[in-house]
């Protein structure tokens, strides 16, 4: 089957992300200000990083493919939000200090494990979910399955099946990039082996619950992303507003895929605006 230009760009972008993982400097502010805990899920343990003051909402950060919890604080996004809100970030199975979890490492599994983690720390508070890239699919699935537990959603350049439709060859290439770089048991490699399944699965999901939703999309063009490609990316994110009463879509041409690193103030300000909408 002939590859579309869109898929080639998608795969190339992921290859670029893989090549940059270990070289990107990461601030340790989160590990200095947050409390680390090991959460036993029965089959494995997840490393969680929290600051709990019993505020009204718990803000939960979900990272993208190949990223641990620390990606959120390279530019102090978590620290800024933790100044006023309870926060929870964590490493999914196979990342950081978290141990390996049962296979397959697909969206349904990741969402179920997120649910157990939230149950551990939410103390009956509703959550505000913040998800980047593949993490956007995870929080989307959780919100649909647990609408009564979600206060709001903030998507940061989320993956979406309208755009992210890898072939078998694409999936194998992405999996091999992670495996060759970090080993077959790396969380990113295990999750990469489910990319086709994830796209097919999220395509069956119903609309998001009726809570305030904000999406921030990168429209920045470069050698891998043309204006037409970025429009399709934006249009994919626009589909998330179906059935949602309060939907805000923000486009930025000043940041690439890692908006929380390139434009952290935009993420923090968008969170604050979302928070003001809540009771």
CATH number of 187's domain: 3.40.50.1820
Q: In tens digits, what is the pLDDT along the chain, a chain of 279 residues?
A: 333 334 434 444 454 444 344 334 334 445 457 999 999 999 999 999 999 998 999 999 999 999 999 999 999 999 999 999 999 999 999 999 999 999 999 999 999 999 999 999 999 999 999 999 999 999 999 999 999 999 999 999 999 999 999 999 999 999 999 999 999 999 999 999 999 999 999 999 999 999 999 999 999 999 999 999 999 999 999 999 999 999 999 999 999 999 999 999 999 999 999 999 999
| Pairwise CA distance, residues 191 & 94, whole Å | 9
Does residue 152 have a cis bond before it (omega within 30 degrees)?
Answer: no
Instruction: Indicate if the alpha-carbon torsion angle 40, 78, 138, 151 is positive or negative.
Output: positive
Question: Whole-angstrom Cα distance, residue 198 to residue 201?
Answer: 5
pLDDT given at position 33: 79
Count how many domains the chain has.
Answer: 1
Is 0.85 surpassed by the pTM of this model? yes
Residue whose C-alpha is closest to residue 131's, from 67, 179, 210, 56: 67
User: What domain range is 19 assigned to?
Assistant: 5-23+31-276
pLDDT at 58: 98
pLDDT for res 29: 46
Distance of CA 197 to the CA centre of its chain: 17
Q: How far is CA 109 from CA 104, 147, 207, in A?
A: 7, 18, 20
Nearest to 17 by CA among 217, 251, 140, 182: 182
User: In the prediction, which pLDDT does 23 show?
Assistant: 35
- How many whole angstroms separate alpha carbon 268 and alpha carbon 77? 6
**Residue 6 confidence (pLDDT):** 43
Per-residue pLDDT at 219: 98
Q: Which two tokens stand for residue 253?
A: 């041409």
Q: What is the pLDDT of residue 32?
A: 52
pLDDT at 5: 39
According to DSSP, the β-strands at 45-51 and 86-90 are: antiparallel
**CA–CA separation, 18 vs 276, rounded Å?**
36
């Amino acid at each position: 089957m002939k590859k579309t230009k869109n898929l080639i760009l998608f795969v190339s972008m992921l290859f670029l992300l893989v090549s940059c993982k270990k070289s990107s400097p990461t601030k340790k502010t989160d590990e200095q200000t947050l409390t680390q805990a090991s959460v036993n899920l029965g089959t494995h343990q997840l490393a969680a990083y929290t600051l709990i003051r019993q505020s009204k909402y718990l803000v939960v950060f979900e990272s993208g493919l190949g990223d641990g919890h620390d990606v959120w604080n390279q530019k102090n996004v978590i620290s800024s939000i933790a100044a006023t809100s309870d926060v929870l970030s964590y490493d999914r199975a196979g990342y950081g200090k978290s141990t390996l979890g049962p296979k397959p490492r697909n969206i349904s599994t990741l969402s179920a494990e997120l649910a157990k983690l939230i149950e551990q720390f939410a103390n009956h508070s509703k959550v505000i979910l913040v998800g980047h890239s593949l993490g956007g699919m995870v929080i989307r699935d959780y919100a649909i399955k647990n609408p009564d537990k979600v206060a709001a959603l903030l998507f940061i350049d989320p993956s979406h099946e309208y755009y992210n439709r890898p072939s078998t060859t694409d999936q194998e290439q992405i999996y091999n990039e992670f495996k060759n770089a970090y080993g077959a048991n790396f969380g990113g490699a295990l999750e990469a082996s489910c990319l086709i399944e994830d796209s097919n699965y999220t395509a069956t999901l119903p609309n998001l619950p009726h809570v305030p939703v904000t999406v921030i999309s990168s429209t920045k063009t470069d050698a891998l992303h043309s204006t037409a490609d970025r429009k399709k990316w934006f249009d994919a994110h626009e589909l998330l507003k179906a059935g949602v009463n309060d939907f805000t879509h923000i486009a930025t041409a000043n940041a690439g895929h890692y908006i929380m690193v390139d434009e952290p103030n935009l993420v923090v300000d968008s969170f604050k605006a979302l928070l003001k909408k809540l009771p």
